[in-house]
Structures are given as structure tokens and as C-alpha cells.
Amino acid sequence: MVDANYGWRMAGDARLGWDVAEAVQAARAFERMGVYWLEEPLPTSDVQGYAELRSKTALRIAAGEMVRQAHEARDLIARGGVDVIQTDVVLSGGVTGARRIADFAALSGRMWSPHTWTNGFGFLVNLHVAMAYSTCAFVEVPFDPPGWGPDRRDWLLPEPLFIAEDGTIRPPEGPGLGIPADLAWLEPRRLD
């Protein structure tokens, strides 16, 4: 999998993202390499660009990691032709919103694979939702050591979640999200 990371821009980004022609060129090169999917090759709002890209490559296209509204996910799937919609449960309507998006993806013959780069709680929610009704075996998680590893990501959890050498993860086995919520520990850290 290759993440072009052009779905959205941050203030201070010095380089513009790809246009459709550059995305097509990259996708075709990645096809020859056997890449599984190309993620976020265009701005999320460029639904027409995604449709054009889809018509010019056989490589799976993934997008939608910063999508906040169900209609945005719907448009990327139905009009843009993306193969994998990567909404984050925390950002796109919670468990119910993610369920609707995952169901629409499945009905459209596409996959839903959550992108989760918030924190340990967000990771747990996305992991549980993906296991409950995902049409894809992958969950994108925050793991970019040394700066972004389990200790930094999971500081809100009683203990960090670890990804096995083979890339799999076993969720905690307790009720709910599998961990006890320590609200007393969270209270002094609350932002008012």
C-alpha cells in the first residue's frame, strides 16, 4: 500500500499535491510494482478527479481519511469510484455513521477500512467497529516510531496496544471497548 497523502493539506505545506495526470502516472507505475492500493492521491473534494483516475488505472484507490460527512463518503464511492473508503469512526459520525458508510461501501462492492490517527481510544473504537462490520481486513493506525508509537498514541489507556510482528492486533477482551475507563485520571486533564 502506498499513501500519497494528498487528500488534505496542512498550513505550511510547501508542496502542492498531484493533479489527475500525475496521479494516473503514479498509479500506473504502482500497478506494475504490485502495490495493493494507492491512498489519497488527490484532494478529497476532487470527486471528478477520482472518477477520472479510476477510469485510467486498475490499481485500487483509497480515500476519505478526513471525511466528516456521510455525503462526502458516498460521493467518493458512487461518483469518484474509490475502491476503499477510509473514514475514521471518531470523525465521521461515530459508530452509527461508520456503520452507514461501511454498509454503503459494501452495497457498492467497495471496502471500508478505517483510518485512525487520533489516540488510543479512537484506535480502539475504530478497531472494534472494523471487526464488527468491515469489508476490509485492514485498519490504518498511528505507528510511526520513534515520534509516534504506542506510548504516545495510547497515553489515555491503562496500557498501550501493541501490534504483533505480523501486523495483526488483538483487541482487549473486556466489555465495551475492552478497557476500564479511568475517569478520575482523566478529570484533571479535561479541557474546559
CA angle 103, 1, 134 (to 5 degrees): 20
pLDDT digits (tens, 9 = 90+) for 91-149: 999 999 999 999 999 999 999 999 988 888 899 999 999 988 877 788 888 777 888 88
Check pLDDT > 80 for residue 10.
no
Q: 74: domain CATH number?
A: 3.20.20.120
Q: Which of 124, 121, 117, 74 is nearest to 97 (CA)?
A: 74
Residue 154: pLDDT band with limits 50, 70, 90? confident
Domain count of the fold of the chain: 1
Interhelix angle for 47-55 vs 70-78, to 10°? Answer: 30
pLDDT digits (tens, 9 = 90+) for 20-69: 999 999 999 999 999 999 999 999 999 999 999 999 999 999 999 989 99
Query: Residue 168: what are its φ and ψ, rounded to 5°?
Result: -90, 165
Check residue 16 and give its pLDDT: 82
- Domain limits for position 38: 2-189
Strands (E) across 24-164 are located at 37-39, 60-63, 84-85, 111-112
Residue 62 φ/ψ, nearest 5 degrees: -115, 145
Q: What is the pTM of this model?
A: 0.89
Residue 84 has pLDDT above 90, yes or no: yes
Contact 141, 116 (CB under 8 A): yes
